[in-house]
């Protein structure tokens, strides 16, 4: 079989790109290694920037997000138990964010794709990319004991950090940057009312904690844990006790605990592959870059790559503008590095590092004190948090 764009991976990047291409009349096939159910069982991001919200709407999958998403005009911080409010709307020139889970975004995009009748091959094993430097690239894979081949014009690598797409670029062509942090985030989801109206990013000498939510009745909490910890080192009781120690006292007193729907540990890493396009292959989302979750940027960066790739494919198929291909990574990387910087900075500001000295802690405290009490500081956090703008292709 032959398609225009072969999309590898049915996470948010792959599904959103597929949906937008379909709307523009550009046919595409998605190959996903796991089952649809498995993809929906992964609990990840929760905060959508305005640009992401607009793009999901443009794809036609925004109805439930518009009905159920929670509009947040501010976000909170705490430092050693003291609670601060940041008015995002005021300090970003009127912008907001929407709290709506990645799982729900994925579910909505899957439903739209099904309605449109487009092909997604779930449980496609051993996906391999071939001849990506040529004018006739193709993808091979195994599905239900058959060896299959998909010819295409372009390949969109939306297969996450551990996917096959980036690995298909010759090592000598890859320009990579990486930073690994000495801790991870232990997340817990529960059907309990969120402890606070806004998200609360808590810096504490015992380690960072985040109070987030999915709805008025579902909470999502995270704890910084050493990257040597495994999930077996934690119980629900231990999680709640530790959370209470790291959040402001009045919040700890009103915190409603309950059974965990899910608990998992995610390592923290910053990674950029500047080679976001090679021949007929484009990398989008986590396949090209990873940010630590502190700035809530991972999913939003994936969406801005999708926007750029989608606008490029429309130019290529409607106007023959293959000359714009080199612009893809220029446009993406300008935004990627700014989000990488912000996510790194938020991580450094709010976490406890095993190597940090008493001096480092005082400087961290002064930095927080400066940012949260200065108009310039508040504008700096707010404009990055709600999302920086994306360059045009031309
Ligand atoms: P993914 O969601 O990773 O999707 C890639 C898809 O490709 C997957 O479905 C995968 O099964 C498939 N795939 C992989 N390899 C192959 C292959 N060889 N062949 C075919 N298919 C393949 N961001 C935040 O903002 N906040 C958070 O709290 C947060 N928590 C996270 C927790 C974890 C454990 C992880 C891994 C990420 C988290 N992120 C978070 C980041 C955010 O979820 C990602 O940025 C987002 O999922 C990126 O979407 P994507 O579609 O590019 O990649
Ligand atoms: C969530 C995750 C984040 O990384 C973040 O910064 C804010 C919210 C969440 O899962 O709700």
Tokens linked to 115: 């309605």
Host domain of residue 161: 5-73+95-178+269-353
Number of domains composing the chain: 1
pLDDT digits (tens, 9 = 90+) for 307-361: 999 999 999 999 999 999 999 999 999 999 999 999 999 999 999 999 999 999 9
pLDDT digits (tens, 9 = 90+) for 128-163: 999 999 999 999 999 999 999 999 999 999 999 999
- Give the CATH number, domain containing residue 336: 3.50.50.60
Average pLDDT, integer, range 206-218: 97
How far does the centroid of ligand 2 lie from the alpha carbon of residue 18, in Å? 25
Quick check: is 23 in a domain? Answer: yes
Residues tagged active-site? 72, 201, 293, 297, 385
Quick check: is 155 in a domain? Answer: yes
Of ligand 2's atoms, which has the minimum distance to the CA of residue 185? 4
Q: Is 305 in the pocket of ligand 1 (CB under 6 A)?
A: no
**Tally of CB atoms within 10 A around 325:** 16
Q: Is 220 in the pocket of ligand 2 (CB under 6 A)?
A: yes
What's the pLDDT at 74? 98
Of ligand 2's atoms, which has the minimum distance to the CA of residue 102? 10
How far apart, in whole angstroms, are the C-alpha atoms of residue 281 and residue 81?
48
Quick check: is 66 in a domain? Answer: yes
How far apart, in whole angstroms, are the C-alpha atoms of residue 277 and residue 381?
31
Quick check: is 277 in a domain? Answer: yes
Strands 200-203 and 260-273: unpaired
> Which residue's CA is the nearest one to ligand 2's atom 1?
46
How far apart, in whole angstroms, are the C-alpha atoms of residue 7 and residue 26?
12
Quick check: is 202 in a domain? Answer: no
Provide the ipTM.
0.96
Q: Is 194 in the pocket of ligand 2 (CB under 6 A)?
A: no
How far does the centroid of ligand 1 lie from the alpha carbon of residue 43, in Å? 10
Quick check: is 233 in a domain? Answer: no
> Which residue's CA is the nearest one to ligand 2's atom 3?
296
Quick check: is 111 in a domain? Answer: yes
Quick check: is 227 in a domain? Answer: no
């Amino acid at each position: 079989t032959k398609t225009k764009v072969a999309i590898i991976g049915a996470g948010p990047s792959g599904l959103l790109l597929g949906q937008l291409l379909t709307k523009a009349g550009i046919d595409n096939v998605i190959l996903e290694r796991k089952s649809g159910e498995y993809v929906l069982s992964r609990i990840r991001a929760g905060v959508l920037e305005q640009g992401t919200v607009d793009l999901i709407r443009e794809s036609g999958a925004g109805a439930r997000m518009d009905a159920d998403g929670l509009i947040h005009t501010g976000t909170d911080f705490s430092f050693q138990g003291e609670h601060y409010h940041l008015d995002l709307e005021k300090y970003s020139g009127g912008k907001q964010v929407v709290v709506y889970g990645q799982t729900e975004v994925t579910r909505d995009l899957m439903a739209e794709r099904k309605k449109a009748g487009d092909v997604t091959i779930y449980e496609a094993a051993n996906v391999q990319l071939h001849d990506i430097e040529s004018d006739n690239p193709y993808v091979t894979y195994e599905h239900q004991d058959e060896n299959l081949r998909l010819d295409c014009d372009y390949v969109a690598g939306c297969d996450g950090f551990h996917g096959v797409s980036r690995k298909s670029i010759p090592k000598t062509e890859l320009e990579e940057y990486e930073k690994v942090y000495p801790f991870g985030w232990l997340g817990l989801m529960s059907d309990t009312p969120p402890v606070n109206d806004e998200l609360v990013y808590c810096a504490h000498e015992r380690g960072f904690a985040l109070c987030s939510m999915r709805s008025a009745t579902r909470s999502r909490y995270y704890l910084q844990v050493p990257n040597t910890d495994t999930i077996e080192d934690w119980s629900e009781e231990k999680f709640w006790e530790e959370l209470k120690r790291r959040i402001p006292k009045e919040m700890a007193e009103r915190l409603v605990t309950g059974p965990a729907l899910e608990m998992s540990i995610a390592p923290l890493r910053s990674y950029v592959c500047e080679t976001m396009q090679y021949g007929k292959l484009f990398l989008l989302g986590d396949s090209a870059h990873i940010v630590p979750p502190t700035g809530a940027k991972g999913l939003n960066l994936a969406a801005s790559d999708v926007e750029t790739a989608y606008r490029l494919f429309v130019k290529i198929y409607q106007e023959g503008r293959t000359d714009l291909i080199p612009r893809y990574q220029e446009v993406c990387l300008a935004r990627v590095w700014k989000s990488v910087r912000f996510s790194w900075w938020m991580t450094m500001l709010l976490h406890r590092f095993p190597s940090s000295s008493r001096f480092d802690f005082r400087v961290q405290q002064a930095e927080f004190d400066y940012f949260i009490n200065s108009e310039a500081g508040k504008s700096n956090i707010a404009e990055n948090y709600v999302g920086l703008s994306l360059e045009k292709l031309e």
